[in-house]
Amino acid sequence: MEPGLARYLELLRAYGRVLDLSSPRVLEDPGALVEAVRAYAEVLPPGATVLDLGSGGGWPGLPLALLRPDLTLHLVERRRKRAAFLELARGRLGLANVRVLPGDVRELKGPYRYVVAQAVAPLPELFRLVQPVAGFPLVLASVRGPGWREEAAALAERAPAEVFHVKPLARGGTLVAVRVEEA
């Protein structure tokens, strides 16, 4: 495992329980984290600015910033304690390509054309949340469960949307990337 990812996991172990940062599964199977972050990295073009919606404990934004230093990551988190952890982790990991944005996504200034989200909401709800700050075409990428096809179909009822990347993950879930056009 990359040294930066190992340091990130150490921070999650140190602060995770107290701040309720992530699912215990993240710490039980670090290989799953590496596999998923590589899948996210595949759909993001070089030099992109990426919004990590509901960053919580920094997943997937912080590992993406470590793996892809060419990206600029904006981590938005409403909960104050989690946002403070994100600032601490950003500093300890030396991530100059990360900005922590405490508060609600609707308060941000866009446009954002690339959005990643882990365990936040179904795809139609993700789109609803980011629509006020979205640039188009918009790319939404998220690890989804077995109902991802239904979520994608429901999203397509709200706006012109096309699934363009699907990657089943060996340790569970499927990375799904959807391109959404302006309605």
DSSP 171: T
pTM over 0.75: yes
pLDDT of residue 45: 97
Is 174 exposed, middle or buried (CB count within 10 Å of its CB: 0-12, 13-18, 19+)?
A: middle
CATH at residue 70: 3.40.50.150
What is the per-residue pLDDT across 147-156, written as a single tens digit (0 to 9) for each?
999 999 999 9
Average pLDDT for the chain: 90
Domain that holds residue 82: 3-180
What is the per-residue pLDDT across 137-179, written as a single tens digit (0 to 9) for each?
999 999 999 999 999 999 999 999 999 999 999 878 999 999 9
pLDDT of 17 over the 80 cut: no
What is the per-residue pLDDT across 86-96, written as a single tens digit (0 to 9) for each?
999 999 999 99
Q: Are 140 and 123 spatial neighbours (Cβ–Cβ below 8 Å)?
A: yes
The total number of structural domains in the chain stands at 1
